[in-house]
Amino acid sequence: MKKIIISLVIIGALAAGWLVFKKPSKQTPALSELTSPTLSPSPTATITKEPIGSRFEIIIRKEGVSSQNLNIKAGDTVIFVNKDTALHWPAAGTHPTHNLCPGFDPLHGLTQGETFSFTFNQAGVCPFHDHLNARKEIFSGVIIVEGGK
């Protein structure tokens, strides 16, 4: 009986070893069957450079505006930044119509931290003022726009 048990253990061990070490056969493709990747032409980007004007900031504070006279070129942008807690409405031209420099009017008072930017595309003189503030001597100025770049 002892011999039968030992024989069964040996047969079982051989069978287990055969199952563990048996690897499925993989056939490697022949060299002629391999395909090399084809490269598609990469797209080319076309970058066009358009002249971009300079940017100028006019800071609005309780004490007034940071620049009352500003000389710029056509294509430049002026950004009004309200750093005051009060509303300020930078507007151009004749009060109350603001039509001397068309488009230069945010149409509302700027809250603290709010900005209004305007790109001046035409040469000319563009006076500005705070539509909401009676102290015109500190909340007004002139932007002189020279011809293009």
What is the chain written as a DSSP string? Answer: -HHHHHHHHHHHHHHHHHHHH-----PPPPGGG--PPPPPPPP-----------EEEEEEETTEES-SEEEEETT-EEEEEE-SSS-B-EEESSTTT--SSTT---SSPBPTT-EEEEE--S-EEEEEEETT-S-TTTSEEEEEEESP-
Q: Which two tokens stand for residue 91?
A: 């507007």
Output the CA torsion sign for 83, 89, 94, 96: negative
What pLDDT sits at residue 136? 77
Under a CB-based contact definition with an 8 Å cutoff, are residues 76 and 54 in contact?
Answer: yes
The confidence score (pLDDT) of residue 14 equals 63
Q: Which domain holds residue 121?
A: 55-146
Q: Please report whether residue 129 resides in a domain.
A: yes
62 in any annotated domain: yes
The confidence score (pLDDT) of residue 94 equals 73
Domain of 69: which CATH number?
A: 2.60.40.420
Residues of the chain with pLDDT under 70: 7-9, 12-52, 148-149
Distance separating alpha carbons of residues 119 and 104, to the nearest angstrom: 9
Number of structural domains (the chain) is 1
- Shortest CA distance to 127 belongs to which of 95, 82, 149, 103? 95
**pTM check: above 0.75:** no
- Of 57, 67, 75, 149, the closest CA to residue 119 belongs to 75
The one-letter amino acid code at 67 reads S
pLDDT tens digits, residue range 103-131? Answer: 999 999 999 999 999 999 999 999 999 98
pLDDT value, residue 35: 56
Q: Please give the pLDDT value at position 113.
A: 97
Tokens of 35: 């395909």
Q: Is 41 domain-assigned?
A: no
pLDDT of residue 46: 44
Residue 26: inside a domain, yes or no?
Answer: no
